[in-house]
Structure 1
Amino acid sequence: LFPNWTLPLWITTGLSAFFFCYLLVYDVTYAYVEDGKDLFYRIMIAVPNKVFPDVSLVMLALCYLPGALAAILQLHNGTKYRRFPDWLDRWLQCRKQLGLVALAFGLLHMIFTLIKPIRYSFMYSRDTGVIKQIKENVTKPFDNTEAWRIKTPLFHGHSGIPALFLLLGITSWPSVQQHTNWREFRFVQSKLGYLTLVLCTGHGLVYGWNKFLKPSRYHWCLPPSYVLSLVLPCVVLMLKLVLITPCIHHRITRIRNGWEKPGKNQGHHTTVSLGKATSL
C-alpha cells in the first residue's frame, strides 16, 4: 500500500523524533536542570514550531540531493544509460513524496507561527516587560538591526516561500501534470524548486542571525537546532553551484542528450531499464 510513501514516511518519522528529542533536551530539560525553570509547557507549541521548519527544510534538501548525486554519477560514468544504484533509484522515485511532506510541515510551521501572539507565555512576557519598564521609568531603545532580523524571515515565511512551495506541490499532482509539457514541469520543479530551497535556507540563516556565535546559545555544548537543519541544504546548494558551472553543466547536458564518453560500450543500451535511465 502506497509503496512510494514508505521511505518518505520513515524518514519523516525519524527526523521528527530526532529534532523533538533534541529540542526537548536543548530547550526544556536544560532550563529545568540548570536554572530550575519549568518550561515543559513548551512541548505543546514552541517545541513543535521548531521541529516543523527543521524537518521541512531537511526534507526539501533530501528532495533535491538525489538529483545532484545522479548528475555526479552520470559525469563519472560518461553516459546516461548505465543503471543507477538501487538505493538511488528508489530515492529518485520518491522525490515527489519528500517534497509534499516538506510542504505539509512548512504549512504547519506557518500556522503555528501565526498563533504565537495569542499564546499565554508570549503575552505574559510582553506585558511583564512593559510593566518593568514603567516601574523603572526606562524606555528600551528601538533596535533597528533586530527589527530587520525579525521582519525579514517573517516576510519570506509568509509571502514568497508559501507561494513557491504551494506551486511545487500543485504541479506535482497528476491532474496538473497532464496539462503541462516537460519543459514547463521541469522549470517549475527544478528552477523554482531550487529557488524555494535557497529562500528557505536564507529564511533559516536570517532567523538564526548571529546566535550560533554566542556561547550562551550552546546548551551542554549543543548548538541550536536550526544549525543542524541548515547543514544539508547548504551542502545541496553547494553541489548545485558546482554542477551549474558552464564547463560541468555543458557536459551534463551533452550526456543527457545521449552523448557518451569515448570508449564506452555502445551495445549496452538495450539492457538498461528506462526507468533508471530517465534524465533528471
Structure 2
Amino acid sequence: MKSDSVAMVTPPSKSHNQETQETVCIFGTGDFGRSLGLRLLQSGYNVVYGSRDPKNSLLLPKGSKVMSHADAAHEAQVIFVAVQREHYGFLSSMASDLTEKVLVDISNNLKSGTYRESNAEYLSTLVPGATVVKAFNTISAWALQSGGLDANRQVLVCGDRADAKQLVVDIAQGLGFTVLDKGSLRAAAELEDLPLQLFPLWRLPLWIAMGLTALIFFYALTRIVIYERVTNGKDIAFRIMISLANKAFPTVALVMLALCYLPGALAGFLQLYNGTKYRRFPDWLDRWMLCRKQLGLIALAFAFLHVIYTLVIPIRYYVRYRINVYTISLIKNNVSYDFDNTAAWRHDSYYSMGILGFGLFVLLGITSLPSVSNSLNWREFRFVQSKLGYITLLLCTLHTFLYGWDKFLKPSSYKWGMPPVYMLSLVVPCVVLILKLILITPCMDHKVTRIRQGWERQNKTLAKTSQPLMA
C-alpha cells in the first residue's frame, strides 16, 4: 500500500466527451502504444506520447503529440507505460515528474515466474510517489485496432487505490470495453500470467484425444494390417489412410462423448455415498468436470472427420474394385443376388441412428457457444446439455451396436484374440448409460434430488458433530 503522505488522485471534473477533452499520456511508441493512441483519439481523447526520440513521430497516429518523457508527463494525469520491464530504468530518474500521477502498467513477461514480484509491483517501488494500476495487459493491439470486435472486450484492472482505478475504468469504458476489478495490486502477478496461458482447459482433453487416437490406431494397425501380413503374406498397408483412420475417429468421438457424462454420473454416486452435497469432490473429478465442454467439442470434431471419411467410401478405388470383382463373380457363376430383408433393416437402422446422433451432437456443440448459451435460461441449457446429451450418447451407441451386429459371435472376428475395434468403443458408453439408468430410477433419483436441494443424511451429520473436540 502507498504511504499516507501521497495525495489522493482527483478525477477530472469533465469527461472526454464534454467541452474540455481529457488528455492521456503514453510512454512508448511501439505497436501497442500506437494502437492505444489511435483508439483514444477515435474516442475523443487528446493523446500525447513520451518518447526518447521525439523527432521520430512518423508512425504515430495523426492528431497526437510527441515530446520528451518529462514534458509529456506534465500534460496528463493518467500515463500508460507501454514499455517492457527491462526498460523501466528511465522512470526512476524522473520520479519527481511522476509524483501523484497514475501509471497504468500494461506489460507482460515472456515466461511465467521470470521475476519474484510482478512488473506492476516492481514499477511501484521505482516510482513510490505515483499510483500504479495494472490494466490493459490482456488486451491485444489487434483488439484495439478492430474495436474489440474479436471477443477480446474485457479489461482486467487491479490497484491499491480505488480513485486511481476509477480513472482507468472510465478510460476503458470510454473505449468500449467492459471492466473487471480484480482487487489490489497483489493480483497483478495473476493478471500478468493470464496472457501466457495456452488453452489451459484444453490441455487434458487434447492429451486424452491424442492418446486415444494413437492407441486405437495402432490397435487397428496390428489387428488388420500386421495380422494380414504375418498370417497371409498380403500387403494391405494402403488401408491405413482411410480404413484405419475411419476406425479410430468414430471410436475416439464416442468414447470422448461418454467421458463428458461419466463424471456427472460418478458425482451423483459420490453424493449418494456421502449423503450430502456439502463435501468436496476429489481434485481429479473437479478438474474432469471443468473440461467437459472441451471434451465434447473435440469429440464433435472427430465425429465430423468420421462423417467426411464415410462419405468418401463409395469413391475409393479399393471399394469400387471389390464391387466390380463381386459383380463379375456373380455373372460368371450365374448366381443371383437375393434381397435380404434383415440386412436392409439393419443398414437403414444403422444409418438412421448415426444421422440422428450426429444431428443432436451438432446441436450440443452449437448450444455450447457463448453467443447461443447466453440466450438460454438455466433450465433450457440443462435440458439440451444433459437430457439431449444422454439421448445423443444412446443413439451413437446404438449406431455402433448396429454396425457390429452379430460380428462378436464369429470366431474369425477375434484376430490374434483381439476383439474388433467397435467393441472397444462400446465399453465406456455402456458403463455411462448403465450408471445413468441406475440414477434415474425413482428411488435413486428421489434421493439425489433431495441431496442436491440441501438434505443431508442424519447419521453422517451426527457422526461429524458427535466427534470429541481435540484439546
Pair in the same fold by TM > 0.5? yes
Give the equivalent residue in structure 2 for 1:11: 208
| % same residue | 63
Distance (Å, rounded) in 1 between the aligned partners of 2:374 and 2:428: 33
Question: Could you tell me how far 1:148 is from its partner in structure 2?
Answer: 2.1
Q: 1 or 2, which has the higher strand percentage? A: 2
Distance 1:262 1:49, change over 3 A: same
Give the equivalent residue in structure 2 for 1:113: 310
Q: Which moved more, 1:140-149 or 1:113-122?
A: 140-149
Q: Which moved more, 1:118-127 or 1:147-156?
A: 147-156
Give the equivalent residue in structure 1 for 2:55: none
Question: Could you tell me how far 1:244 is from its partner in structure 2?
Answer: 0.5
Code of the residue aligned with 2:234 in structure 1: it is K
1:186 and 2:374 are equivalent in the alignment: no
Secondary structure (helix, strand or coil) at the match of 1:79 reads coil
Distance (Å, rounded) in 1 between the aligned partners of 2:343 and 2:228: 25
Give the equivalent residue in structure 1 for 2:344: 147
Aligned runs of 1:233-244 on 2, under 5 Å? 233-244=429-440
| Cα shift readout 1:201-240 (whole Å, capped 9, x = no counterpart) | 0000011000011001110000001101101110110000
Distance (Å, rounded) in 2 between the aligned partners of 1:120 and 1:244: 48
Unaligned runs of 5+ in 2: 1-197, 465-471
Give the equivalent residue in structure 1 for 2:456: 260
Give the equivalent residue in structure 1 for 2:406: 210
1:80 and 2:297 are equivalent in the alignment: no
Give the equivalent residue in structure 1 for 2:259: 62
Question: Could you tell me how far 1:57 is from its partner in structure 2?
Answer: 0.7
Give the equivalent residue in structure 2 for 1:134: 331
Give the equivalent residue in structure 2 for 1:22: 219
**Residue of 248, 272, 275 corresponding to 1:51:** 248
1:167 and 2:167 are equivalent in the alignment: no
Q: Which moved more, 1:169-178 or 1:8-17?
A: 169-178
Code of the residue aligned with 1:116 in structure 2: it is I
| Cα shift readout 1:105-125 (whole Å, capped 9, x = no counterpart) | 111111111110000000000
| Cα shift readout 1:97-141 (whole Å, capped 9, x = no counterpart) | 111111111111111111100000000000111111111111122
Code of the residue aligned with 1:151 in structure 2: it is D
| Cα shift readout 1:55-114 (whole Å, capped 9, x = no counterpart) | 111101111000000011111111112111000000000001111111111111111111
Secondary structure (helix, strand or coil) at the match of 2:426 reads helix
Q: Which moved more, 1:76-85 or 1:116-125?
A: 76-85
| Cα shift readout 1:34-62 (whole Å, capped 9, x = no counterpart) | 11221100000011111111111110111
**Structure with larger Rg:** 2
The alignment covers a number of residue pairs equal to 266
Q: TM-score, length-normalised on structure 1?
A: 0.92
- More relative contact order, 1 or 2 (CA 8 Å, 6+ apart): 1
Q: Which moved more, 1:234-243 or 1:134-143?
A: 134-143
Distance (Å, rounded) in 2 between the aligned partners of 1:264 and 1:32: 61
Q: TM-score, length-normalised on structure 2?
A: 0.55
Secondary structure (helix, strand or coil) at the match of 1:4 reads coil
Distance (Å, rounded) in 1 between the aligned partners of 2:396 and 2:266: 21
**Residue of 410, 433, 441 corresponding to 1:245:** 441
Distance (Å, rounded) in 1 between the aligned partners of 2:254 and 2:419: 17
Distance (Å, rounded) in 2 between the aligned partners of 1:11 and 1:196: 21
Question: Could you tell me how far 1:191 is from its partner in structure 2?
Answer: 0.3
Secondary structure (helix, strand or coil) at the match of 2:244 reads helix
Distance (Å, rounded) in 2 between the aligned partners of 1:171 and 1:112: 25
- Supply the RMSD in Å over aligned alpha carbons: 1.3
